[in-house]
Amino acid sequence: MRIEKFYAPFYSENPYLLLAPGSDQALIVDPGHGALEQLKQALSRLEVTVAAVLCTHGHADHIWDAHALAGKAPVYIPAPDEYRFHPEKLDPRERTEHELSLPPWKEPQNLQVLPAAATSEGAELAPGIFLRAVPAPGHTEGSTLFLFEASDLSGSAAQEAQDIYDNWLAESQRKQEKPQKLALSGDVIFFGSVGRTDLPGGDSQQMLHTLRTLQNVIDPDTVLLPGHGPATVFGLEKAHNPFFAQARYQG
């Protein structure tokens, strides 16, 4: 699988492009403002079109260019964050920030709530791209991790994933040579940190509960592709992330 990582300057956000082997239709993840031309150039270079856009949650830095990339293709958002695509429903603080910092908002033509099957059994959101959604509220009401498996990784995110996975293998003395399990972790888990909870829709106690739950259900070998910053491995975060330690006692 090819996984390309991009950079959106608005809050230094990471959009991603996922492309299954042999497919000519990609899944775009979290297309924040400022990465549109990078993404269009990658689509052209790879000679692929957009099958769908997936947003891990509804904050502006993850959704702003969804309309421009998707066209008539579906734009998926977890149900609790669907309201964030409608500015009139936002907390006034968020709405004001958008108006001051970003170009005019355009709603996607084909906005869809993430199918319920994505949580219960997984869903194919683009040809050959099967994801299983794990609700992880706390940063926002609808924040979600998306688990998937892949082999023979390529693309700009592949070496980063391999490097951090090698660090995990060395520390844990495991023998698997290549990352097979991955997750789009949005703004739930970062390298050494987690998503902030002081914004509208955030809940610090819910975040602790989420982190405690995730520690019981996510394979430690899972490479995390976050919405900001470098990749990491769930096992490394479980061992060293102070928020994980706090969650084990207070979550």
**Given this model, what pLDDT does residue 243 score?**
97
**Given this model, what pLDDT does residue 218 score?**
97
**Within its chain, how far is the Cα of 153 from the centroid?**
18
Model-level pTM? 0.96
**Given this model, what pLDDT does residue 193 score?**
98
Tokens representing 116? 């319920």
The 8-class DSSP code of residue 136 comes to -
In sign, the C-alpha dihedral spanning 75, 78, 79, 84 is: negative
**Given this model, what pLDDT does residue 251 score?**
67
At the top level of CATH, the class of 2-250 is alpha beta
Tokens representing 3? 């996984």
**Given this model, what pLDDT does residue 173 score?**
82
pLDDT digits (tens, 9 = 90+) for 114-171: 999 999 999 999 999 999 999 999 999 999 999 999 988 999 998 899 899 998 898 8
Domain assignments of the chain as residue spans, ordered by start = 2-250
**Given this model, what pLDDT does residue 31 score?**
98
Q: What are the φ and ψ backbone dihedral angles of 68, each rounded to 5 degrees?
A: -70, -30
Low-confidence ranges of the chain (pLDDT < 50): none
**Given this model, what pLDDT does residue 236 score?**
95
**Given this model, what pLDDT does residue 151 score?**
83
Please state, in angstroms and rounded to a whole number, the distance separating the CA atoms of residues 59 and 210.
19
**Within its chain, how far is the Cα of 121 from the centroid?**
19
